Structure 1
């Protein structure tokens, strides 16, 4: 049976291992491969990055071999933009396209008004970062009050927010893979901002709205993973047919 590698890019401040629990919840043919970013998790000793294009280029070189097998890309928030840029950088290296790109929880690359409005290009203070975490409603107060945990998390978050704030959209040929966008109905990204992702691909497009805020993929994990699996099951059918023939 044809397996499919799902390369997962984390959101701001997080390690890619936030996706590791999915390994127990998804079918065996779907191999979850969290893509760790420099400065966190197993790569804690590496410098943090604030240039998304440079990071995407680095990750493309690191993940190039993974594209020899059928694969899909998924990212949430910052990770969605990074997955999008990674798809383009892999294309520039001559790699086959992903079977699908899943962009979750963020406005399209051409609709970054929310970041522009808050001037995330410049580093924010600890208090400003904590305030943003409270607004996103994904961090318990006891974690925000833990000085040791915050001491580890806030530098990563600061760099990640700057990376988003400094992101510059570049016009390139549209991606040839299906593009599936996921959003929360109480999240900041509007349906219009999410629908604007449609312009970035010339294959199949879908938009799925889930109940909840920014972290709908955790709040409604079962429904989210069911939708993900359904799309990838369909995407791998042509690959399976080719391997049989």
Structure 2
């Protein structure tokens, strides 16, 4: 039985361990490999990064050996942009391409209007960051009111928003792997912004919408995981 590795990149403010519960729910042939970013989780002692392309290059060097086995990339929100840039950086290193790239919960790299722009290119205050968390509706109010937790979370979130806000799309040859986009029907990304991901690959493309807002991947976890398994199972059989 061929095992596929699913390299998962976290969203803003999160550790890669937000994907750890998927390990219990996915079949044995699909191995979840959370990719931790500097400055959080097991890498808390490392400096936070605010340059997305520099971070993607760093991660490509770290994950280079992982590409010797069949693998796919997945990211949600910030993680989707990072997974996309990581795919290009791995390609530049001459690594085998991913079997698929899953971009969840964010607009395509060329359609970031309403996301980044001038508004997020400079560091935001604690209150502005908390306001954004409330808008995204993924953080309980009791967590937002916990000063100790917020003192740990907000510096990470501030840096992660700068990663997105200072992101600059670069024109390059398109990827060749299948690109699967997952979106929430109440999230801020429009269908046109999600469909624009299709321009980033000359391989197969799909868009699947789920009920819910920005954190639909947790709200509707089982259908999301079912989508991943359905997309990757044919690759397992042919790998």
Is TM-score (shorter-chain normalized) higher than 0.5? yes
Q: Which runs of 5+ in 2 are unaligned?
A: none
> What residue number does 1:23 align with?
23
Instruction: Please report how far the alpha carbon of residue 238 of structure 1 lies from its aligned counterpart in structure 2 after TM superposition.
Output: 1.8
> What residue number does 1:165 align with?
165
Q: C-alpha deviations, 1:129-168, integer Å up to 9, x for none? A: 0000000000000000000000000000000001100000
Q: CA RMSD in A?
A: 0.7
Instruction: Please report how far the alpha carbon of residue 119 of structure 1 lies from its aligned counterpart in structure 2 after TM superposition.
Output: 1.4
Q: Check conservation: 2:182, 2:209, Cα contact below 8 A.
A: yes
Give TM-score, length-normalised by structure 1: 0.96
Q: Which SS does the other structure have where 1:232 is aligned?
A: helix
Inter-partner Cα distance in structure 2 for 1:104 and 1:237: 25
> What residue number does 2:198 align with?
198
> What residue number does 1:64 align with?
64
Matches within 5 A, 1:121-136: 121-136=121-136
Inter-partner Cα distance in structure 1 for 2:238 and 2:169: 32
- 2:153 counterpart of 1:153: yes
> What residue number does 1:242 align with?
none
Q: Check conservation: 2:99, 2:177, Cα contact below 8 A.
A: yes
Q: Check conservation: 2:116, 2:164, Cα contact below 8 A.
A: no
Q: How many residues align?
A: 239
Q: Which SS does the other structure have where 1:182 is aligned?
A: strand
Q: Which runs of 5+ in 1 are unaligned?
A: 240-245
Give TM-score, length-normalised by structure 2: 0.99
Q: Check conservation: 2:181, 2:194, Cα contact below 8 A.
A: yes
Matches within 5 A, 1:94-243: 94-117=94-117, 119-239=119-239
